[in-house]
Homo-oligomer: A and B are copies of this chain.
């Protein structure tokens, strides 16, 4: 809960109570994700919002999310890119279908592939900003490009191929 509040994004003119994050619409069975599930008390609980045609997540890493002291761990940054991008894919699909995010059936995405370019070290102790942009929606697949900045400097670029979560996801293992 603390993480949720800490990382909530207040957009200009928004009423916080009306400003539900994408992740707050996730059905319970996908709300335990370590990256973005609001019910995973050990997890990052990221919160993503529309900001015009872009999506926005702000996140402050914990002091122990270290690469070398003073800089944020790349696997953590990849996790932020991942969940920010699948959240973006879901929100974009609702928009493309002209649906509200609380309408049924729920739309959820899983990651088919994740690509991250580390352009510069990402400094610790700074509120990170991830901005996502839908590159393409084709059938069940959405390509999302996500830029991560720290102090306004682009440090990480991500590209995620997200696919609609199959109804039988995980069966038959």
Contact = CB atoms under 8 A, between A and B. Distances in A.
A78 B67 contact: no
Interface in A1-59: 29-30, 32-35, 37, 40-43
Most chain B CB within a 10 A radius of its CB, from A41, A66, A76 = A66
A116 interface: yes
B113 A170 contact: no
Interface residues of A, number: 45
27 contacts: A29-B68, A30-B68, A32-B69, A33-B67, A34-B65, A34-B67, A35-B75, A37-B66, A43-B64, A43-B73, A68-B170, A70-B170, A71-B170, A75-B75, A75-B83, A76-B79, A78-B79, A78-B114, A111-B118, A112-B118, A113-B116, A113-B117, A115-B115, A120-B173, A121-B173, A123-B173, A153-B173
